[in-house]
Amino acid sequence: MSDYSETLNSLYSGRKSEKELYLHEKISCTTPTSLDIETISRAFAILGYSCEEGVKRNQGRIGTAKGPDAIRQQLGRLPNHLKNDCKIYDVGSVYCTGGDLEKTQEHLTETLTEIMDKNHFPIVLGGGHDMAYGTYTGLKKHLNKTKSIGIINFDAHFDLRNNEVEDNQVPSNSGTPFFQIAQDCTIDDSPFKYLCLGIRKDANDRTLFETAKNLGVQYIMRDTFRIQFHNEINAWINAFTNSVDHVYVTIDLDGFSSAYAPGVSAPSPMGFTPDVVLESLKTIMGSGKLKALDIAELNPDFDVDNQTAKLAASLVHYVIHNLP
């Protein structure tokens, strides 16, 4: 089964200014149902996905259920440069109990839809990358299938695993979300548009490359996903965003080099660097089509000096301060 908990205001702390100089003074904790429909100002809603069941099923290092709160703690300490009329809420966390990952994904879908129906930009903090299925379906439900959605995934992995069992059912895990999305797109005859940035051969077996080819997935290998090639990367991103109506961005922290992100489910020193991700996010936001963001796979149990949590918080900070 799936459950929900509100975020305690005390989780956000830092320097006190009484002038909202820091985000912990700006962020308000509430619930999704308590949000008002926003009609004038930019409003953000932070939602936690406190779930590690998908990582466990995918034979990864458990501990990601603690990820959302670890990011929140670091985010609250960062400076606030938002406009006074910009609003940012924390609307609590959905979490998995009894190993019922599928119910947790459904809960995430429903909550995301409610947030977006009230005109708040959702930022989901994880949690295993199985969250991507819930984020995408929540956005799709909000749009009522009337617009095309392009997925841009910053990741070393395709997460296109096809773990079929009896009756052709696919058990969810942190390695299956985009295959599940592709299946849904086939069922409702909608386009599956997926761009993955940072793919590595040492992180995906040949069947995953074959699946990506068969599904028409676009991707940039880690060897090319470097800041010195940012012009070429931006050209790929612009071509992709021009082909869809809306964009959903998902960032898997294990795509970063473990020099920057040691606290993840599947660390590797061969990952990408923050500078190329920030440059790419700038281009994506410049399209005016970004509608949802999530950050996956933080595992505080293996973090070093909160380095990975700080990276995730800085990514959130960058997006909320630069989204048009």
Task: Detail the residues annotated as belonging to a binding site for Mn(2+).
Answer: 129, 155, 157, 159, 252, 254
The full length of the chain comes to 324
Question: Exposed (0-12), middle (13-18) or buried (19+): which is 184, by Cβ within 10 Å?
Answer: middle
Question: Could you give the CA distance from residue 318 to residue 106 in angstroms, rounded to a whole number?
Answer: 29
How much is the CA Rg of the chain, to the nearest whole Å? Answer: 18
φ, ψ for residue 163, nearest 5 deg: -95, 70
- What lies within 8 Å, CB to CB, of 223 at 6+ separation is none
Find out whether 298 and 313 touch, Cβ atoms under 8 Å: no
Find out whether 68 and 55 touch, Cβ atoms under 8 Å: no
What is the dihedral angle through the alpha carbons of 271, 266, 302, 306, rounded to the nearest 10 degrees? Answer: 40
| C-alpha neighbours within 13 Å on the C-beta side of residue 14 | 20
Question: Could you give the CA distance from residue 150 to residue 112 in angstroms, rounded to a whole number?
Answer: 17
Nearest to 311 by CA among 43, 125, 56: 125
Nearest to 158 by CA among 195, 124, 133: 195
Identity of residue 54: G
Nearest to 134 by CA among 254, 51, 44: 51
Enumerate the known binding-site residues: 129, 155, 157, 159, 252, 254
Q: Between the CA of residue 166 and those of 163, 171, 177, 184, what are the distances in Å?
A: 10, 10, 19, 18
Residue 179 sits at the vertex; the CA angle it makes with 163 and 275, to the nearest 5 degrees, is 120
